[in-house]
């Protein structure tokens, strides 16, 4: 039962076949067994889980039809949950307890989900492998010597490794989609503004978006339906009706035109990866879709654009971590020395790198050359997508250029930044985009198969279309069922991680 989908679990709880508390207790036992190996959770929220499970059982008993009744949830640890430690996987917030709950988390709880714990991430969501966590190593359930991807590595590892049924992640330039691809689960970034960011500790405000991580597209759509919609506490959340998605999932792709991006040629990929994606494209056709070539001529500037805008915003967003009011404080001779000592000790190297890049990009004399030009490039990239969508209903491409890599494989920052080559343009354009399992490769030296993800993207606010297409693909290919991650050892005896 613990490995059932969210839809199945919630139905069982609603029909009183099993209680939310029973699920929570069983899941907490499994977390006890597996989390040491996986490193998915920074904080296991046993008390919060039991309390919420009891409340869900009461509400079910009172006749409430909760769509996520009793479903175990992993919350990325950059989202606030009242009374729990919320660390952003940073030393600077290592002991900060949130006094309020993020809107997206609150909506999941209101729909009946049970928070099992706070999941690891790259520090402040900056990274693509989860290796930038200052507090914990998270491993890929498919191969414990490999990274889960990032930055939502903990939530994805938890769902893939069976210690959560659903997860909440945040995606700034691919932080839901890339790890979902690496761990063989569904990761969905809705349109920017669809899901409230209130209570999500900001990395890059104009790009950050919360979204679901799930075993199936249907589960993802149920979570999306629960969390989407205007929030009076987030001025950037969009005030337009949310179309329910869960009841509108398609079974085939007939009549659908899917764009294949000319500039995203598969030629530079490893041959087995390339083969898997070529197969995925043929599967789309087999399911009835018409493939058309589209062009995103400026998408190649995505990574450069992103690494100006996101650091610029983060340099400002992370200023508040100064040792004055909360979090780490390292004393100094005066307030300036205290700031310097606190931030030097509290932030890891990648966070510092981005703060410095962003500070430089915004500074007097460089602002026009960097920040303003990056914003113009962003507008051009969004324009490319708009033109492409005149010719197709959705765009398909790899979610990442490879399967999960080993720890310490990307030694220089730039090669790590390129991991998000296929996900960043969609983030810059604010588009709804997801990764769905699409095949497997078995690289040399790998014990078993490693999953790959197909990224599907549709126009702004067309989440129903996107989830519908992804569901049809998932049903038509059964990649999610073809393999399962191997047994997770009860204790960690694994090398390879830093």
Partner 1 sequence: MSALETGVRYEAVIGIECHVELKTVSKMFCGCRNAFGGEPNTNVCPVCLGLPGALPVPNRVAIEHVVRAGLAFGAEIPAFSKFDRKNYFYPDMPKDYQISQYDMPLTQGGVVEFWLPDGVKGSCRLTRIHLEEDTGKSIHGGSSDGRIAGSAFSLLDFNRAGVPLMECVSEPDIRSAEEAVAYLDALKRTFVALGVSDVKMEEGSLRCDANVSIREVGSAELGTKTEIKNMNSFRSVLRAIQSETARQEAILRDGGRVVQETRGWDEAAGVTHSMRSKEQAHDYRYFPDPDLAPIEFAAADIARLMPRPDELPQTRLAGLIEQEGLAVARAHQIVDDAALARYVDAVVVATGSVPASASFILSDPMRLANETGRAVYEALPPNAAAELIVLARDGRINSKTQKALLERVWGTNESPAEIVEREGLAQVSDRGAVEGFVLEVIAAQERSVADFRAGKETALKFLVGQVMKASRGKADPMVVEAVLREHLSARDPGVGTEDGSAT
Nearest to 16 by CA among 73, 66, 60: 60
- Binding status of residue 82 toward partner 1 by CB under 8 A: no
Q: Does 93 contact partner 1 by CB under 8 A?
A: yes
- 175 carries an active-site annotation: yes
Integer Cα distance of 357 and 322 in angstroms: 18
Beta strand extents in 297-401 (DSSP E only): 394-398
**Could you tell me the smallest distance in angstroms from the CB atom of residue 307 to partner 1?**
16
Q: Is residue 347 close enough to count as binding partner 1 by CB under 8 A?
A: no
Restricted to residues 181-200, the positions that interact with partner 1 (CB under 8 A) are 197-200
- The answer to whether the beta carbons of residues 10 and 467 sit under 8 Å apart is no
Give 1 or 319: the residue with its C-beta nearer to partner 1: 319
Residue 315 interacts with partner 1 (CB under 8 A)? Answer: yes
Q: Please give the DSSP secondary-structure letter assigned to residue 299.
A: G
Peptide bond into 151 cis (omega under 30): yes
Span 41-70, contacts to partner 1 by CB under 8 A: none
CA 105 to chain CA mean position, Å: 14
Closer residue to partner 1, CB minimum distance, 145 or 316? 316
**Nearer to partner 1 (CB atom), residue 55 or residue 329:** 329
Contact pick of 2, 3, 58, 99 for partner 1 (by CB under 8 A): 99
Bin 89: left if φ > 0, else alpha if -120 < ψ < 50, else beta: left
User: How many C-beta neighbours within 10 Å does residue 390 have?
Assistant: 8
Q: Tell the smallest beta-carbon distance from residue 311 to partner 1 (Å).
A: 12
Residues binding partner 1: number (CB under 8 A): 46
Applying CB under 8 A, does 351 fall inside the site for partner 1?
no
3-state secondary structure of 346: helix
Catalytic residue among 19, 128, 151, 157: 151
Site string for partner 1, 365-384 (x = CB under 8 A): --x---x-------------
Q: Beta 72-76 vs 433-441: how paired, if at all?
A: unpaired
| From 46-54, 286-294, 328-336, 460-468, span contacting partner 1 (CB under 8 A) | 328-336
Q: Which is nearer to partner 1, 198 or 264 (CB)?
A: 198
Q: How far apart are CA 277 and CA 37, in angstroms?
A: 31
Location of structure tokens 């324009």: 383
**Per rule CB under 8 A, is residue 279 in the interface with partner 1?**
no
Q: Is 102 in the site for partner 1 (CB under 8 A)?
A: yes
Find the shortest distance in angstroms from Cβ 423 to partner 1. Answer: 19
Q: CA–CA distance from 336 to each of 32, 263, 318, 355, 429 (Å)? A: 43, 48, 16, 17, 39
- Contact stretch for partner 1 (CB under 8 A) within 262-270, 295-303, 332-340, 422-430: 332-340
Query: Which of 26, 51, 110, 326 touches partner 1 (CB under 8 A)?
Result: 326
Helix ranges (DSSP H) in 243-348: 271-286, 302-317, 335-346
Asked whether position 320 contacts partner 1 by CB under 8 A, the answer is yes
Cβ 104 to partner 1 shortest distance, Å? 11
Q: 186: which strand partners?
A: 214
- Token pair listed for 52: 């919420």
Complex with partner 1: residue 133 or 402, whichever CB lies closer: 133
- Is residue 91 part of the annotated active site? The answer reads no
Q: For partner 1, which is the closer residue by CB, 99 or 349?
A: 99
| Cα–Cα distance measured from residue 118 to residue 116, given in angstroms and rounded to the nearest whole number | 7
Given 128, 155, 170, 175, the catalytic residue: 175
Q: Binder to partner 1 among 37, 42, 73, 79 (CB under 8 A)?
A: 79
* Residue 98, Cβ density class (10 Å: 0-12 exposed, 13-18 middle, ≥19 buried): buried
- Strand-strand pairing, 257-261 and 290-294: parallel
Of residues 34 and 194, the one with the C-beta less far from partner 1: 194
**345 part of the interface to partner 1, by CB under 8 A:** no
- Strand ranges, E, within 48-185: 72-76, 114-119, 166-171
* Among the residue ranges 13-21, 32-40, 80-88, 247-255, the one whose residues contact partner 1 (CB under 8 A): 80-88
Residues contacting 372, CB < 8 A, separation 6+: none
CA distance 156 to 75: 10
Task: List interacting residues with partner 1 (CB under 8 A).
Answer: 78-80, 86, 88, 93, 96, 98-100, 102, 197-202, 204-206, 232-236, 312-313, 315-316, 319-322, 324-326, 334-336, 339, 359, 362-364, 367, 371
Q: Which residues are catalytic?
A: 76, 151, 175
């Amino acid at each position: 039962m613990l490995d059932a989908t969210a839809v199945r679990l919630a139905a069982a709880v609603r029909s009183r076949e099993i209680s939310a508390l029973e699920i929570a207790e069983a899941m907490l036992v499994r977390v006890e067994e597996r989390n040491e190996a996986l490193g998915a959770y920074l904080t296991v929220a046993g008390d919060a889980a039991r309390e919420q499970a009891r409340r869900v059982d009461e509400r079910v008993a009172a006749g409430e039809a909760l769509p996520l009744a009793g479903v175990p949830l992993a919350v990325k640890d950059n989202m606030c949950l009242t009374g729990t430690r919320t660390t952003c996987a940073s030393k600077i917030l290592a002991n900060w307890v949130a006094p309020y709950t993020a809107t997206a988390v609150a909506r999941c709880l209101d729909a009946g989900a049970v928070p099992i714990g706070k999941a690891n991430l790259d520090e402040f969501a900056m990274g693509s492998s989860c290796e930038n966590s200052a507090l914990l190593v998270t491993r890929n359930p498919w191969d414990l010597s490999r990274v889960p991807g990032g930055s939502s590595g903990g939530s994805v590892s938890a769902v893939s490794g069976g210690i959560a049924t659903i997860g909440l992640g945040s995606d700034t330039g691919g932080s839901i989609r890339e790890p979902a691809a690496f761990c063989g689960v569904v990761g969905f970034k809705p349109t920017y503004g669809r899901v409230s960011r209130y209570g999500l500790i900001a990395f890059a405000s104009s790009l950050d978006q919360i979204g679901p991580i799930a075993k199936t597209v249907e589960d993802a759509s149920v979570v999306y339906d629960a969390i989407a919609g205007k929030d009076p506490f987030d001025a950037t959340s969009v005030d337009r009706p949310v179309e329910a998605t869960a009841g509108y999932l398609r079974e085939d792709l007939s009549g659908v035109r899917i764009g294949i991006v000319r500039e995203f040629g598969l030629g530079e990929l490893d041959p087995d990866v390339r083969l898997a994606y070529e197969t995925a494209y043929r599967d789309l056709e087999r399911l009835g879709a018409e493939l058309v070539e589209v062009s995103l001529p400026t998408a190649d500037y995505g990574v450069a654009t992103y690494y100006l805008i996101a650091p610029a915003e983060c340099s400002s967003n992370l200023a508040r971590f100064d040792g004055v009011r909360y979090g780490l404080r390292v004393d100094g001779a005066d307030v300036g020395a205290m700031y310097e000592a606190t931030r030097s000790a509290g932030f890891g190297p990648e966070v510092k790198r981005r703060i410095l890049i962003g500070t430089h990009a915004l500074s007097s004399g460089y602002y026009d050359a960097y920040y303003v030009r990056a914003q113009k490039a962003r507008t051009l990239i969004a324009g490319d997508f708009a033109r492409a969508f005149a010719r197709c209903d959705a765009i398909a491409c790899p979610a990442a250029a490879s399967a999960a890599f080993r720890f310490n494989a990307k030694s220089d920052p730039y090669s790590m930044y390129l991991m998000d080559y296929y996900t960043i343009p969609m983030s810059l354009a604010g588009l709804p985009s997801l990764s769905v399992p699409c095949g497997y490769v078995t690289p040399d030296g790998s014990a078993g198969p490693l999953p790959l993800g197909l990224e599907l993207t549709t126009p702004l606010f067309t989440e129903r279309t996107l989830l519908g297409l992804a569901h049809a693909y998932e049903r038509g290919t059964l990649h999610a069922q073809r393999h399962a991650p191997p047994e997770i050892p009860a204790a960690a005896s694994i090398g390879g991680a830093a």
